[in-house]
A = this chain, B = another copy of it.
Amino acid sequence: MNGHKEEEHDFEIGLAVPKRKVHEGEGGGGGDGGESCVEFLVDEFKKVGFIVERVIGVSDEFIKLAAPLEVLGRAAAELKVKKPTHIGMDLQFDWEEVDAFVRQPDGMLFSWCERFHFYRHLIYGIVNRGQSTVTLKCHDREIQWEPGEPLLQRLEAESIVKLVFPLHVEAKRKRLLRVWALNWWDFTDQPIDEIYSYFGTKMAVYFSFLGMYTRWMLFPAGLGFVVHLVDFGPFQLLVLPIFFISIVLWAVMFSQFWKRKNSALLSRWQISYSVGAYPGYDLGFKVPGKDRSSLQSSVELISKWGRDKKNDKERFQREEWFGTLMRFRNDVIIILSIICLQLPFELAYAHLYEVVESDYMKFGLTVIYLFLIQYFTRIGGKISVQLINNENNANREYRADSLVYKVFGLYFMQSYIGLFYHALLHRNFKTLRQVLIQRLIVSEVLENLWENSFPYLKYSYKKYKVRRKSKKEKGSPTGKIQFKSRVEKEYLKPTYSASIGEELEDGLFDDLLELTLQFGMIMMFACAFPLAFAFAALNNVTEIRTDALKLLVMMKRPVPRAAATIGAWLNIFQFLIVMSICTNSVLLVCLYDKEGKWRIEPGLAAILVMEHILLLIKFGFSRFVPEEPAWVRANRVKNATQAHEMYSKQLLRSISGGERTSNEIMKVE
C-alpha cells in the first residue's frame, strides 16, 4: 500500500514560466550553445531528483514537479527535521534509519506540510556551486547567475518564474469532492483525516472546529426555538434568565471540550504540540529566506546561551522586557485609535440611523457607511501589520496571533458597537432585533454568495484576459480557445489568502473571523433574540460544504500550514463568552426594569449575583475538566517513559565516557 502510493508520484508543485515561442524554441535548442533558461531549470530539477513534467498552456508553460520519497527524505535530513519514532521520542530524521520513524495515518512517511516544506527547500536550494557566473539566455535576454545565488530567486526576480504553487492531486481532490464537499447528507460529519492529509494540519483543525461547533450549536438552536415560540404563561419572566444561564454553560463547555478534541486530534496525527518547544520551528512559511533568518537568529540566541550565565540572564531579561514593552505600546496605540477614531464614527452612524426617518436616507447612509468602513478596516489592518513587524515576537505563530487580536479589535467595534448603542443607550429592542436579523440572515447569505462567486468571477475574468491576449498574439479571432491543461486552470484560479495581512495569514483568517463575529453576535445578544442560534446553526451547516467546495473547486490548493490549533481565535471565543455574560446581564436588567427606575431591587441584585456566579463558572470550569484527555496523556507519558527506559543506559555511557567530548561540542556550538 505504502510502496504503491509513493510510486505513483503525484505532481504536487507547479511552476509557471513563459511559453517558448516557436522560433525561439528552435533557436534555443540548437543555437549558439547558450541554453534557454527554462530548459536549464528543468535540467537542474532533474539533477536534484525531481520527476518533471512540462505542460504547454494557452499563454504560459508549466513545469510540474513530483519528488520520489528518497529525495524528500534527503531534504528532511538536510533540514534536521524531527519526527516521531517508534520508541515515542521525536528524533532527527535520517534516511538511513527510515524504518524507525512512524508513518502518517494515510501511510505516507511525510505529511503534506512536511512535503511542501521539503519541496520548497529543494527548489530554492538550487544554488550556483561553481566559481564563475553562469550566463543563461531567455527570450533574447541574458541572465547572470552569480555563484552562491539560488537559481529560483534570480528567475523570480527576472519574472521568468511567475509563480510557484502547490498543485491539486486530481484523484484525491475528486475523492474529497465526493465524500466531503458534495456529501450534504452528512450534515456536520466530515472525513477529517483525509482533509488533514490533503490540506495539512491547520485546515483540518479548522474544519473539525467548524463541525463540532455546528453540532453543538443544535442544542441552543433548539432551545432558542422553544423560547421564542412557546408561551410559558406565569413563568415567562424566568424563561430568559434560564435561557441565558444554559447558553453560557453551553459555551463554556464547548470551548473546553474543543480543547480536548483538539489535543485528541493531534495525538491521532502524532503531532507533539508543545508551545515553545521548538521556537521558530514552523513549517508553513511563505517567504523562506526571511523566515529562515528569524529561525536562525532564535537558534543563535539560544546557542549563545553559554557559560557566562549571569550576563546571558540579564540580556534575556532585557530583551524580554523590551519585547513586552513594545507589545504594550502597540496594544495601547491600537486600543486608543479604536476608541478615539472608530468609536465616534460608529456611534455617529448608529445615531444618524436612529434619527433619520426616510428609508431612502437610511439606505444612502448605509452605503456611505459601508464604503467608509471598507477603507477604515483596510487602513487599520495595514497599521496593525506594520506594528506587528516592529514587534520582536518569538515566531510566526505569535505574530499571526498578535495580528488576529488587533484586527479583531477593529471588527469588534465595527460589528457590535451599533448593536450596543441600540440595546443599552436607547433600549430600543425593536431596532436591535431588526439589525440582528438583518445581519444574521441578509449579511450571512450575501457573504456566503459573495465568498463563492467572487473567486469564480475573478477566475473567469482571468481566463477571459488570457484568451483575449492569446487571440491577439495569434491573430486568429475565430474559434474559442479551450483551457485544456488542468495545471493552467489551477494557475488562473485565485489564491486562498486573507483579505488582510497576506504575508501572515491565509484564507482561514476570513473564515474564522466570520465565525467569531457570528458567535459574538448570537451570544452577546442572546437574551434579545434567542432565535439567532437557529439561524446560525442553519448557516453553519451550509458553511461547512460551501467552504469545502470553495477549497476544492474555486481555489488553488492552499499552501499548507502547520499550526496545530485555531490559536488566538479560541481566546477570542472565550473573551466573547465573558463579554456575553456581562452584556446579557445588562440586557436582562433593561428588560426587567422597563420603566428605567434603575433601582437595585431584588431582581437586579439577583441578576448581578447570577452574573458573578457565571463568571466564576467560566473561569473555574477549565480547572475541572482538563484540556488533555487522560488517554492522550497516558499515551504521551508512556512513550516518554519507554524511550527513557530503553535508551537511558546507552546514552549515559556515551555521556560520561565522552564527557570531555560533549563539553567540547558545547564549546564549539
Contact = CB atoms under 8 A, between A and B. Distances in A.
Interface of A is mostly: helix
A662 B646 contact: yes
A599 B289 CA distance: 63
Contacts of A647: 651, 654
B91 A652 contact: yes
A183 interface: no
Interface stretch (A1-9, A46-54, A92-100, A239-247): A92-100
A98 B302 contact: no
A578 to B, nearest CB: 8
Contact of A99 (B276, B279, B644, B659): B659
Contact of A651 (B91, B637, B638, B665): B91
Given A320-B629, A629-B317, A649-B92, A86 B635 contact: no
A328 B624 contact: yes
A653 interface: yes
Per assembly, the copies of the chain total 2
A237 interface: no
A369 interface: no
A465 interface: no
Contact of A301 (B600, B625, B634, B666): B634
Looking at A80, A89, A637, A655, the one whose CB has the most chain B CB atoms below 10 A away is A655
A650 to B, nearest CB: 7
A208 interface: no
A595 interface: no
Interface residues of A, number: 78
Interface string A625-637: 1000111011101
Contacts of A625: 324
A87 interface: yes
Given A92-B648, A630-B320, A302 B637 contact: yes
Interface in A457-482: none
A648 B317 contact: no
B645 A92 contact: yes
A154 to B, nearest CB: 33
A502 interface: no
A642 B667 CA distance: 12
A669 interface: yes
B303 A94 contact: no
A501 B125 CA distance: 65
Given A86-B662, A666-B642, A317 B94 contact: no
A669 B659 CA distance: 32
Nearest to A581: B612
A146 B635 CA distance: 40
Contact of A635 (B305, B615, B641, B646): B305
A635 B646 CA distance: 26
A317 B630 contact: yes
Contacts of A178: none
B659 A86 contact: yes
A98 B630 contact: no
Contacts of A503: none
A630 B302 CA distance: 10
B662 A631 contact: no
Looking at A623, A637, A665, the one whose CB has the most chain B CB atoms below 10 A away is A637
B328 A85 contact: no
Looking at A97, A305, A316, A612, the one whose CB has the most chain B CB atoms below 10 A away is A97
B644 A92 contact: yes
A598 interface: yes
Nearest to A92: B648
Interface string A303-317: 101000000110011
Q: Which 5 A-B pairs have the closest CB atoms?
A: A316-B631, A100-B656, A320-B630, A97-B656, A598-B600
29 contacts: A80-B645, A86-B655, A86-B662, A87-B655, A91-B652, A91-B655, A92-B652, A96-B653, A96-B656, A97-B655, A100-B652, A100-B656, A276-B633, A277-B640, A279-B637, A301-B634, A302-B638, A305-B635, A312-B631, A317-B631, A319-B630, A598-B600, A599-B600, A600-B600, A642-B666, A642-B669, A646-B662, A647-B651, A650-B654
Interface of A: 80, 82, 85-87, 89-92, 94, 96-100, 276-279, 299, 301-303, 305, 312-313, 316-317, 319-320, 324, 327-328, 571, 578, 582, 598-601, 612, 615-616, 619, 623-625, 629-631, 633-635, 637-638, 640-642, 644-657, 659, 662-663, 665-666, 669
Given A97-B655, A302-B634, A647-B654, 12 more contacts: A86-B662, A86-B663, A91-B648, A92-B652, A97-B657, A98-B656, A277-B640, A279-B637, A301-B634, A302-B637, A320-B631, A642-B666
